[in-house]
A and B are shown apart, each in its own frame.
Chain A
Amino acid sequence: KQEVTQIPAALSVPEGENLVLNCSFTDSAIYNLQWFRQDPGKGLTSLLLIQSSQREQTSGRLNASLDKSSGRSTLYIAASQPGDSATYLCAVEYGNKLVFGAGTILRVKS
């Protein structure tokens, strides 16, 4: 069964701290891996997509890595800000669908 797990479930950090969110997946036959941000009661905003052939992808203060063989991805957020507070979702693409993790709830304190 294709499952995606995210740890930690919740994280609270002071402003300015660098942090790492973790994602693991059971089936390594992935097409792509996408990281999303979800604000309470809102839709999903795409942050980064890593293709299965890539190891890393960067966008501003965000850096995502992918190790397909070990079934892991990390999202690194540099110099966190209160506006980064949200739920971060990892989604793995298999064929024609995304399989989502439960998310990491991030709170950045000012």
Chain B
Amino acid sequence: EPEVTQTPSHQVTQMGQEVILRCVPISNHLYFYWYRQILGQKVEFLVSFYNNEISEKSEIFDDQFSVERPDGSNFTLKIRSTKLEDSAMYFCASRLGLAGGPDRNTQYFGPGTRLTVL
């Protein structure tokens, strides 16, 4: 069964460093998302992406964050200068979208990347 994959599974970085989290969405999906979950807290929406542009972003997704779909398969989240409070599990998700059957609206999540900022 197709699934969303994410790399790395765990990333440790120093405060102020840039990190890039990578995701491979399900191959025929059209909508892509990033969410994060700080330990012990709710899953929070960061950004949605469709047709090569951001369709919605949250207040968390400030100028330090960016997303990119550099080719036909990868979807990346970049944090330019990490802060301690960026430590969280980051989830990528994808959705089939308009051109699908009853399952088209289901968001499928990857296993996550645990980011630790020291």
Task: Show the binding face of A for B, using Cβ within 8 Å.
Answer: 31-32, 34, 36, 42-46, 49, 51, 89, 91, 93, 95-103
Which of the residues B31, B107, B110 comes within 8 Å of A34, measured between beta carbons? B107
B contacts with A: majority SS: strand
* Cα separation A99 to B48 with both chains bound (whole Å): 13
30 pairs, CB–CB < 8 Å, chain A vs chain B: A32-B105, A34-B107, A43-B110, A43-B112, A44-B43, A44-B91, A44-B109, A45-B109, A46-B106, A46-B107, A46-B109, A49-B105, A93-B105, A93-B107, A95-B56, A96-B31, A96-B48, A96-B50, A96-B56, A97-B33, A97-B48, A97-B56, A98-B33, A98-B35, A98-B107, A99-B45, A100-B42, A100-B44, A102-B41, A103-B42
Q: Which of B42, B106, B110 contacts A49 (CB 8 A)?
A: B106
Q: Which applies to chain A's interface (DSSP): helix, strand, loop or mixed?
A: strand
Task: Kindly provide the distance from the CB of A102 to the nearest chain B CB, expressed in whole angstroms.
Answer: 5
B108 within 8 A of A: yes
Task: Assess whether B81 is interfacial by the CB under 8 Å rule.
Answer: no
B55 interfacial contact with A, CB 8 Å:
yes
Q: Which residue in B41, B44, B48, B111 is a CB contact (below 8 Å) of A43?
A: B111
* Chain B, Cβ-Cβ closest to A50: B105
In the assembled complex, the CB of A6 is this many whole angstroms from the nearest CB of chain B, namely 10
| Size bin of chain B's contact surface | 20 to 34
User: Which of B50, B91, B108, B109 has the most chain A CB within a 10 Å cutoff?
Assistant: B109
A-facing residues in B70-117 (Cβ within 8 Å): 91, 103, 105-112
Within 8 A of A (CB), among B35-77: 35, 41-45, 48, 50, 55-56, 58
